[in-house]
Amino acid sequence: MVPKALPGRLFAKIAAASSGANNLVVALAGKKVRVLAYVVIANAAVNAKFQSDAAGTPVDLTGLHYFAQNSGVCCNFNEVGWFETGIGKTLDLNLSGAVAVGGELVYIYV
C-alpha cells in the first residue's frame, strides 16, 4: 500500500554522537513536531530515547531503545505518527554514551 501524500512532510537526518541530548528538529512557535517514520542504527552498544525540549525540562517521548553494536530500529510510515513533541519544543535524541548513531526521520509540524 502506498501512503497518502501529506502536505508539509519534512525529512531530517540523524547524525548523533554525543552523550546526552542531540538536537534533531528545531522548534517552531505554536507547533508540535510529529514523527511519522524513522530509522536509527547505532555503531556500538548504546541506549537511546527521543525527547522533547532537552534544553529546558526534558520530556521523554519514547522508552529506551537498547542497541547492540551495529543494530537499530525501523518504524515505518504511520499516518497518525509515532510520537510528537510539546508545542514549541525541539525534538532531540538522548544517548547514554558518546556513540555514533545515524538514520533518518520523516516528520510534520502540527
Domain residue spans of the chain = 10-109
Class level of CATH domain 10-109: mainly beta
- The pLDDT assigned to 7 comes to 58
Low-confidence stretches of the chain (pLDDT beneath 50): 1-5
Q: Taking the chain, what is the end-to-end CA distance rounded to the nearest angstrom? A: 24
Q: Which residue has the cell 521523554?
A: 60
The answer to whether 87 touches 56, Cβ cutoff 8 Å, is no
Task: Write out pLDDT tens, residues 76-100.
Answer: 999 999 999 999 999 999 999 999 9
Q: Report the phi/psi class of residue 79: left, alpha or beta, with left for phi > 0 and alpha for psi in -120 to 50.
A: alpha
- The pLDDT assigned to 100 comes to 98
CA atoms in the 13 A half-sphere facing the CB of 23: 9
- The pLDDT assigned to 53 comes to 87
- The pLDDT assigned to 8 comes to 72
Handedness of CA 39, 42, 45, 48 (dihedral sign): negative
As separate numbers, helices (DSSP H) first and strands (DSSP E) second, the chain gives 0, 10
